[in-house]
């Protein structure tokens, strides 16, 4: 049932948001050299790597690490990128990953391929059995502000509480969080 809802939600999102997606792609390309999309290697279900698309929010040549690990993140993040990140619009291309089956609408956010500490904590608690999500319980409870151990705790809590009602609650809270820009550092 969850997979069917993911497919219907992703298809509806891609169709309804296609003018916005196209406009954002053009804006990213016009603002700075490089492709509109950045394909990031992420850890998926059963710790398998997959390529996850995002609108590019950083200048080309930026190191492929979590933004908080950069020496000078402000140097790398583009002006439009700040807005895309604050509003989570940079995440919209991930609807493709939901449709392809690499992600779900709701689940733990996919870790970067080099976030070994987060991957290890998720594996130890069984969270690696879940498809990563476009949004998740940890995402609406702090986003970038959460320490790794706290993210893993929220991910485990999601694993234990997951249900259609809980997913709908998370999706609604995500909309509020994205509009406010709450929890985004860069």
pLDDT, averaged per 10 consecutive residues of the chain (186 residues), comes to 95 97 97 94 97 93 71 82 91 97 97 93 97 95 87 96 96 81 51
3-state SS class at 16: helix
Q: Are 114 and 147 in contact (CB under 8 A)?
A: no
pLDDT for 180:
64
pLDDT for 186:
44
Q: Where are the beta strands (DSSP E) in the chain?
A: 37-43, 49-55, 104-106, 111-112, 133-135
pLDDT for 144:
72
Domain ranges of the chain: 2-180
| Cβ atoms within 10 Å, residue 68 | 10
Token representation of residue 77: 């993040």
């Amino acid at each position: 049932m969850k997979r069917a809802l993911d497919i219907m939600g992703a298809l509806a999102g891609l169709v309804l948001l296609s003018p916005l997606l196209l406009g954002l792609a053009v804006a990213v390309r016009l603002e700075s050299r490089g492709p509109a999309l950045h394909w990031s290697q992420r850890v998926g279900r059963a710790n398998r790597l997959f390529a996850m698309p995002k609108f590019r929010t950083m200048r080309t040549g930026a190191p492929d690490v979590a933004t908080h690990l950069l020496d000078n993140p402000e140097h790398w993040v583009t002006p439009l990128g700040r807005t895309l990140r604050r509003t989570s619009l940079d995440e919209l291309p991930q609807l493709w990953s939901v449709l392809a089956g690499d992600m779900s609408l709701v689940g733990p956010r996919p870790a970067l391929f080099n976030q070994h500490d987060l991957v290890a904590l998720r594996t130890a608690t069984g969270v690696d059995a879940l498809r990563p999500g476009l949004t998740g319980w940890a995402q609406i409870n702090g986003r970038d502000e959460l320490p790794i151990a706290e993210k893993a705790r929220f991910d485990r809590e999601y694993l234990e509480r997951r249900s259609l009602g809980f997913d709908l609650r998370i999706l609604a809270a995500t909309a509020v969080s994205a509009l406010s820009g709450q929890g985004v550092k860069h």
